[in-house]
Amino acid sequence: MIIVENLSIRLGELEIVRGLSFTLAPGEVLGLVGESGSGKSMTALAVLGLLPPGMRASGSIRFEGQDLLRLSERELRAVRGRRIGMVFQEPMTALNPVMTIGAQIAEGVIRHGLADAAGASKRALRLIARVGLPDPAARLHAYPHELSGGQRQRALIALAIACRPALLVADEPTSALDVTVQAELLALLREIRDETGMAMLFITHDLAVVSRLADRTLVLYGGRAMETGATRALLAAPRHPYTHGLLAAIPRGNAHANPLRPMPGQVPELDRLPPGCPFFGRCPKGDALCRDVPPPPVPGASIAWCHRPEAAP
Amino acid sequence: MTAIIAARNLVRAYRLPGEGLLGRRRRLVAVDDVSLELDEGKTLGIVGESGSGKSTLARLLVGLERPDRGTIAFDGATISNLPERALRPYRRAMQMVFQDPFGSLDPRMRVIDSVAEPLDIALPGLDRDAREARVAATLAEVGLGTSALRRYPHQFSGGQRQRIAIARALITGPRLLVADEPVSALDVSIQAQILNLLVDLKLARGLSIIFISHNLGVIRYLSDHVAVMLRGRIVETGPTERVFGAPEHPYTRALIAAMPVLER
């Protein structure tokens, strides 16, 4: 349904994303996981055609028969919001503060020619109820500032799915929320996926969230793919030392009983990466080959871009 | 054994802007009748969601805010009613670390001066070499080399800045460190490093720590005892493994159930 091939994103000399490829089938959730500087958010923006000025994407993003990277802004606007929905971490910046929730949901539906004003308003009411906002008829006329953070994120989800998109791009949609609200919203997104069969590109730094939602996972580091595969398999037996390190960094139990062994060093700056694997320098297995030569994808239970991948257990 | 810090029936309320019914000012009770105790060398984790009052409680404990009611005792001495002057030596003994290290590091100050600032106040007569040696030793303790001394905060990553903020908090040799969401803004791999640094400091210095977080995983990792806050109150408290293994309050159970656990 979406086929991303050899996607690179540059800002001048700086390569923010290099040679990324992935696919999504209808109804499938792909978790894009990484720390700061991994390129995960820029990848999401490239799919939406919303890269910041100065950034250039190359490669191809094929979606419903067209290459999104070759569309004009006008053509992209017909896709964005209609066939591809989006949810971001901070709903306050994505919602219009001077428009009611109902009007914002209806606006997109009308703009994309899916219903007239009355039909759009009815659809807005149904969606507000669907995403679990209390007293939907009243929320239709509420402004964003009248809602709590969790409610705003629900409203944003209603807005994102209003035109029944085939793909939802969600960038850390629950990361700023309390854990109890976060758990509810993840369940909501799962339900909507099951009901509508939309695919989801879910961007997060949190492996626990990925384990609950994503069918497949792609781990990024320093703008490059480290490992990809079925989420269960990848988390049960990571083959890339970076995936392994990420899992080992999650606290389990108490320090006395289960001390963490964090990976050393800092998250790298993109202009200081070695020519080979970006994880070289922090990797316990790194050697001269890793430093100098970009690792090829090594197939197995998952695909790992690593010269020294773990063998299957 | 005397507790390093003991709070009794703390209350802190704020006036909300605007008027309520009958022209009465509306009040938000951020901390509502909270009592707690921490033994020296131990770590107390305070967990709660946004608006639970956990950050206000932290500020009350270190004396950045005064309680409306209730008392705080440090090492057996009541400090909540002391005038500012008399509170000063206690401020040295209780230090705080925040989520955003930029908040506590002046961007225009070199690391050496930022870290030394609390020391300059405590020991104004210290000579330059002794001052620099003390800063260098404290930076070494948090895993930073002497090359950091003459650089500025923006030249460091988020995790390194948090190390600098911790060094600044440690330089006066406090007995109690209150850390409010110190790893929440950090990448997962860096978060683990800072958590282990806090464990090491606790053991090496016999430091007592109050660790505040919304993240149950990190609370469980660091804490000997846990207090769960909801709407300004502590609804459950106990040894960490008991609270996580057999939570008694329905809210604690809900929090643990909602905790994002790795499924694999």
Could you give the ipTM of this predicted complex? 0.86
* Cross-chain residue pair B262–A211, CB shorter than 8 Å: yes
Between CA B250 and CA B255 the distance in angstroms is 9
DSSP SS3 for B58:
helix
Between CA A275 and CA A291 the distance in angstroms is 6
| Cβ atoms within 10 Å, residue B25 | 10
Q: Domain total for chain B?
A: 1
Mean pLDDT of B22-42: 88
Secondary structure in 3-state letters for A40-77: HHHHHHHHHCCCCCCEEEEEEEEECCEEHHHCCHHHHH
The count of residues in chain A is 313
Six-digit token pair at A178? 């309390």
Chain B CB within 8 Å of residue A179 CB: yes
The per-residue pLDDT for range A70-122, each reduced to its tens digit, is: 999 999 999 999 999 999 887 777 899 999 999 999 999 999 999 999 999 99
How confident is the prediction for chain A on average, in pLDDT?
93
Q: What is the band of B128 on the pLDDT scale with cuts at 50, 70, 90?
A: very high
* Cross-chain residue pair B50–A251, CB shorter than 8 Å: no
For residue B157, the chain A residue with the least C-alpha distance is A266
| Cβ atoms within 10 Å, residue A94 | 18
> Do residues A192 and A198 make contact, with C-beta atoms less than 8 angstroms apart?
yes
- Cβ neighbours of B157 in A, within 8 Å: 266-267
Instruction: Tell me the residue range of the domain where B16 lies.
Output: 5-263
How confident is the prediction for chain B on average, in pLDDT?
92
For residue A182, the chain B residue with the least C-alpha distance is B258
Q: What is the band of B21 on the pLDDT scale with cuts at 50, 70, 90?
A: low
Given a cut of 90, whether residue B167 has pLDDT beyond it is: yes
* Cross-chain residue pair B258–A180, CB shorter than 8 Å: yes
The per-residue pLDDT for range A110-159, each reduced to its tens digit, is: 999 999 999 999 999 999 999 999 999 999 999 999 998 889 999 999 99
The per-residue pLDDT for range A209-228, each reduced to its tens digit, is: 999 999 999 999 999 999 99
∠ CA(B251), CA(B261), CA(A232), 5° rounding? Answer: 155
Given a cut of 60, whether residue A196 has pLDDT beyond it is: yes
Q: Which of residues 205-224 of A touch B (CB under 8 A)?
A: 205-209, 211-212
Given a cut of 70, whether residue B20 has pLDDT beyond it is: no
* Cross-chain residue pair A254–B157, CB shorter than 8 Å: no
Residue B32, beta-bridge partner list: B11
Given a cut of 90, whether residue A3 has pLDDT beyond it is: yes
Q: Considering only CB atoms, which residues of chain B are within 8 Å of chain A?
A: 49-50, 157-160, 187-193, 195-196, 199, 214, 216-218, 220-223, 240-241, 254-255, 257-264
Q: What is the band of A269 on the pLDDT scale with cuts at 50, 70, 90?
A: confident
> Do residues A7 and A21 make contact, with C-beta atoms less than 8 angstroms apart?
yes
* Cross-chain residue pair A179–B160, CB shorter than 8 Å: no
* Beta-sheet strand order (sheet of A2-11): A14-24, A2-11, A55-63, A66-67
Crossing angle for the helix pair B158-170 and B111-122, nearest 10 degrees?
20
* Cross-chain residue pair A179–B263, CB shorter than 8 Å: no
* Cross-chain residue pair A205–B50, CB shorter than 8 Å: no
* Cross-chain residue pair A35–B189, CB shorter than 8 Å: yes
Given a cut of 60, whether residue A313 has pLDDT beyond it is: no
Residue among A183, A211, A254 minimizing CB distance to B263: A211
Between CA A191 and CA A213 the distance in angstroms is 11
pLDDT over 90, % of chain B: 78
Q: What is the band of A257 on the pLDDT scale with cuts at 50, 70, 90?
A: confident
Given a cut of 90, whether residue B264 has pLDDT beyond it is: no
* Cross-chain residue pair B193–A35, CB shorter than 8 Å: no
> Do residues B5 and B58 make contact, with C-beta atoms less than 8 angstroms apart?
no
- Cβ neighbours of A149 in B, within 8 Å: 50
- Per-residue pLDDT, A113: 92
* Cross-chain residue pair B189–A149, CB shorter than 8 Å: no
Q: What is the band of B23 on the pLDDT scale with cuts at 50, 70, 90?
A: low
DSSP SS3 for B168:
helix
Nearest Cα of chain B lies from the Cα of A123 at a distance, in angstroms, of 31
Mean pLDDT of B13-29: 74
For residue B261, the chain A residue with the least C-alpha distance is A208
Six-digit token pair at B239? 């040894």
Mean pLDDT of B14-27: 70
Mean pLDDT of B32-48: 97
- Cβ neighbours of A29 in B, within 8 Å: none
**CATH number for the domain that contains residue B88:** 3.40.50.300
- Per-residue pLDDT, B77: 95
Q: What is the band of B15 on the pLDDT scale with cuts at 50, 70, 90?
A: confident
Q: What is the band of A64 on the pLDDT scale with cuts at 50, 70, 90?
A: very high
Q: What is the band of B261 on the pLDDT scale with cuts at 50, 70, 90?
A: confident
> Do residues B91 and B173 make contact, with C-beta atoms less than 8 angstroms apart?
no
The per-residue pLDDT for range B80-116, each reduced to its tens digit, is: 999 989 998 898 899 999 888 667 789 999 999 999 9
Q: Is pLDDT larger for residue A311 or for residue B73?
A: B73
* Cross-chain residue pair B221–A209, CB shorter than 8 Å: no
**What's this model's pTM, rounded to 2 decimal places?**
0.91
Mean pLDDT of A183-208: 94
Q: What is the band of B117 on the pLDDT scale with cuts at 50, 70, 90?
A: very high
The per-residue pLDDT for range B214-234, each reduced to its tens digit, is: 999 999 999 999 999 999 999
